[in-house]
Structure formats: structure tokens, C-alpha cells
Structure 1
């Protein structure tokens, strides 16, 4: 290809137009949250860029560039890849069962030599895309209440069962709740929703007692009474509550959090980084960061409403639901309002896999915005 072909005015103009359609204020808020995460990681490492802060910024920069590239991908491409991505996720989850790496008692990763891949993260995107494509070709009547509901139920249940077997309760919960959220937003009958809530509430006790692994059951029971084992299974929640309460209104000051600096707070760089934020910046710092999260959720939901295709609207809304669940579950976990299930605070916590998943999802959200006038057509059947 010649230089002139690469720089044709028409192509440059289209690229500039697409880039201008990206919600750059949305991108700025993402950068602010990731920047806050880097500041906290710098602090808890003893005012050092290593081992977490520098890598966090580099990973975010790469993932941000990927999000921008994905925002330029036409929705018809996302639509065509929906089922293949879901299928790839299932194949990799099965591969984990057969040849996955075992670490800390869990078999969740595939060692590809150059990288350790966690297929359950792929499924967080795959379940949104697959359900969005399925409902794109389904009538409103069938989405409301019909035997067609068996298909999304199977689409959700299979990966959830595989992830639960690894075992990974937090990720299985996220996949299940995200899938249910997409089904509800697609137009599920309120009678079915209420019946599902009642059934789920009734299923929780036997699930906890007979399905969960011993350590998972202990986490759930400890959440109800963490003081029963303060130096064991209740340690995480108690130390997190101490960090949250000691921060007060304005916090102890940057780099002065005793719980994190003296290593009383476990997983301070990942699952409990929000407790570190509360200790050093207090209630005001927590509210500020939560306001940034709320802004991201609001702008992403607003984007889901502007899409002309049902696939785009459900895809963007499903990604937003996943992100919202991350924030709600981690926040509840840190405050002792939910069991410790290993769900990080997105963009704030250290970790490349979750960051990559979140930014790919936001690439889809921005693609819906950039290509909001694109017509996504499907075949005659619901599964086409």
C-alpha cells in the first residue's frame, strides 16, 4: 500500500469524525480514577513506584489505547464476533478444567508461556455480547415471557457452573448477575423477576451449606459474625472496618495510613484498596471517588440509550451493569456488608486482567456511541 493510499483525505476525515464522536469527558473520568489508584498504590508501597504504581499506569495506558481502537470498530463487527467470543470463553473454561494452573487452591488460569490467562474474565464480556445478540433477534413478546428464556438461562448457567467449579465464587457471581441484568433489561416480565428473587432467596441457605467449598462457606458465615474468628477468617473484614473508621472525615493524610503502611490490612493493593483510600483521605475522599464512579455509570448508561440497534443498547447496558456490580460488591465487601469474595475495585485496584476486561467493555460502550446510527441486522432466527 502506498503512502498516498494511507493518507487519503476521505479516510482521514472519517477517522477524525469517529475520534471526535468518542466521549472524551468519559475518558477523562476513567483517567482520574486510574490516577487515584496509582496514587494509592504509590502510597502503600512506601512512596515507591514499585512494585505496583508504575505497572498500574503502564497497563492503564495500554488498555486505554485499546479502548480507543475498539471504539472505532463497527457494531456489525462486534455483532458478528458475539457468539465466537462466547464460544471461545467456554472452550478456554473447559481447558482450565483439564490443564489449568493451580494457585492458592484454585484452578483458574491457563499458562500460555508468555502470559497467564484467566478465561473467566473473557466470559464477562462474552456473556454480555452473546445475550445482546440473542435478544437483538427476539421479539418483545418472546423476551417478556416465553420458552425462549431457556436459551439465555443455559447461556448463563454453563459458564457460571464452570467458574464455580474452579472455584471462583466472586467471578461466578458477577457473570450470573450480569447475565440476569441483561435479561431483565431486554424486557423480562416482572412476574418472572419477582419469582426469581424469591427462588434465589430460598436457594441461598442450601447453596451455602451443601454446594460451596468449606472455605467459601466459612467466609459467608464469618461475614455474619466476623468477631467470632478475629485472627482467622474474620481478619480481613475487621481490619478493613478499622481502616474505614479510623479515616474519619478527612483522613489521616496521604501516606500516613497505619493499617496499610504497617501491613495490618491484607490485600491492600487489590481487594481492599478502597479501605486504604478511606484511611488516608477519609469520608470526603471516598465520596469523591464514588462520585467519579457514579459519573462513569451515568455516562455509560446514557450512551446505551442513544444506540439505534437493540444489540448496541443491550451491549452497552450489560457492560455498565458489570462495572456497577464490581463497584457495589467491592464496596459492600470492604464495609463488611458482603462476604469477602475477591472482587476488586475496577480501575482503582492493582491487577491487569480485570483492568483489561473493564476497558474492553468500555471500548464496546464507546463503539455504541460512535456508531449509534449503524443498522445491525440479523437473520430470521433468534440465534442467527
Structure 2
């Protein structure tokens, strides 16, 4: 890829993915129940080898994959992305035993993963986590003393608290969970754990959200975890979380670009055919100018996403800034494009089952999850002033 265009092979692969999403994945998505994990869809993603690519692809290829799937089937794109988000910490920081146990099942679409970071009082401020890991058997001992004791004798912890707005909860087979072990203040006292869903004391319930993919709440009532469940070192969990988010933030932008491109193409087709005022809508200057703005913003967002992914693949030191810029611009752009696409279509776009009605519900959440737009602006400003 140059700084301005994809290569012929990349364009061909994206076209194949869009066709695959429409022909093989869309029918499975339509059979799924909104708000529930679609296991047949996951199994098909595994059978097609697409889940494998989440773990073996560079950031740019992951962006192309997510953008292309989003164009034809947002449910398939989201299912694929959530597998990567939940299991990437296992790939990057897990033990050989954890990787052997879980990653082949995730890649095949047989095990469902989830990334459990957000809490009722800690969404955008991820360092403010309250889920507590208390030294097992150490009633009254928490924080640094409990953590150091656990490290010293190889014992475990008990997790107590809540996680909220967790994608794939409560139906996932395992969770990457971030809890406060107290080695230091704020982000320095967070540890990552791999918690199988069948652990005693772990329960959950689904949440009825605007977006159609599964989201739920988890309750931890003294859930036991031990050294064998650690993802990385005690007190280093926040870095595990941020490394995962830095990898996936550009591809969240790619998801948004895929939705924007789908909305733009639908708008071009509609305004070129819809007759009004003695011609077609596209003949009206107001309409043509709006479509031109939609197309320009979409292309700008697409290029920024690709640039951020390229920086990640190259090991550039400015990845946090570029990733934040890519997610910010792409998700805000997608909201703009989809909203104007609905306006240009009129009432038909508000009917249940219409592509734009679906995109209108889907496009709102990416401006919030994996760091809200305001958080991305904060990251960008801090990096610029560093």
C-alpha cells in the first residue's frame, strides 16, 4: 500500500470479503437473535478462516478485514472483533497452558471470549476500577499487602464486584478480567486474569441495549483465581488492557468506515434513481453537495485509519496518538454519514429492516466503546504536548 491507495491484491481481497459477508454471513446473521451470541455465525467465521486472521494479521490487514465485513454484515464484523478483543490478551500475555486451552477454540469459533474492563463507575476512566482482588484466605487484607502475600507464597485471590457493558456477557465461555490488586495507586494496581465462565461465584445478566449485539453485566461474588489465571504480571494489567486497545482502536475506525461506505453507496444509488421535482434527487445541488461532503469525509477517515494501522505495523512510537485520531475521526464521520444518508432517504430509512435503520442503531456505540470520543481527544492532546 502507498500512502494513498491499496494495492490491486488488497482491493481484490476486500471485494471477496464483501461478497462473502453478503452471501454466506448475512443469512446466518439474519437467523440470530438480537442481543444474543450467534454461535452458528461464529462457527462459520471460524470455518472460513477469518477468526484465525484476527490473530495472525497485521493491523492494516485487520482493518481491511473489519471494514469489508462491516460493509456487508455488521453482525459478522462485531462477532469477529469481539473474539479478538477478548482473546488478544491471552495471545499476548497468557501462559502456554492458557494459549493451548483457549486459543484454538476461539479461532475455530467454538469458544466465545469477552474483554471485561468497564464497570458501573469506571467506563472512560479505566484506571478507576473497583473490582477488588482480595488475597484468598486473607480476610481483611487487600491492596498491596494482599498482593505481595499472594506473590510470595503462590496463593490466589477472590474477585468481588461488578463489570458492566461487557460485550458477549453473560454468554462468553471465558473473560479477560481486570481487577484491583493494589500494588500501586490507580493504574499501577490493576491485574489481568483469565476467568472461565464456570467459576463459582461468577454470574451475569444481559442488558437490553440500542445496539443489537450481546452486552451484559457480570457479578463477582468471591470468584477464586490463582497464579495460573494471571495474564502477565500482578500490577501490570492496565498495560495489558492498553496494548489490546491500541491494537484494536484503528480497526474500530475501520468498522466505522465500513458502515459509512455502505451508507454512502446506498445513498448514491437512492439519489440517482429517486425522482423528485422534475428530475432525480442527485440533480439537486443541495443533495449533490451533501453527498460530496459525505464521500470526502469517508475517504479522509479511511486514509487516517490505514495510516494508523501502518504505524502500528511499523512499530512507530506515535501509535497511541495515531490510533486515537483514527478512531475519533472515523467514528464521528460514520455517525455524520449515516445520519445524512437517513435524511436523504426519508421515511423509508426509518422502517425496521432497512439497511440504514440497522446502521443508524449500530453506528452510535463506537463513539463510546473502547474509549469515548472525548477520551480520544484527551489522548491526542496529551501526546501532542508530551
TM over 0.5: no
**Which of the pair has the greater relative contact order for Cα pairs under 8 Å at 6+ separation?**
1
> Which structure shows the higher strand fraction?
2
TM-score calculated relative to the size of structure 2: 0.25
TM-score calculated relative to the size of structure 1: 0.26
> Which structure shows the higher helix fraction?
1
